[in-house]
Amino acid sequence: MLASGQKTGRALVVHEAQGTAGFGGEVVATIADRAFDWLDAPVRRVTYPDRPVPFSKKLEQDLLPSKDKVLAAARELLAY
């Protein structure tokens, strides 16, 4: 991941867990700490929002990272 951030100047972390205090946050912190000088844009995350998981499968699916959400974040990074 560090080599990719160095090569592209950008990083996008995607995972299904909540964004706060999760694995993705640690990945973002590592990238920001070790690859900061090479980054041309802030590290972006696409995660589950910081809220309780709904009982309804449909509502849960609407909150999970999706292809559209990932593509939107990637486009924002490319435009930065």
Check pLDDT > 90 for residue 79. Answer: yes
**Average pLDDT of the segment spanning 75-79:** 95
Q: What are all long-range contacts of 15-20, with beta carbons under 8 Å and residues at least 24 apart?
A: 15/47, 15/65, 16/47, 16/48, 16/64, 16/65, 17/47, 17/48, 18/47, 18/48, 18/49, 18/50, 18/51, 19/45, 19/47, 19/48, 19/49, 19/50, 20/50
pLDDT tens digits, 2-50? 999 889 999 999 999 998 888 999 999 999 999 999 999 999 999 999 9
pLDDT band at 64 (very low <50, low <70, confident <90, very high): very high
Domains, the chain, ordered by start: 2-79 (3.40.50.920)
pLDDT of the residue at 68: 97
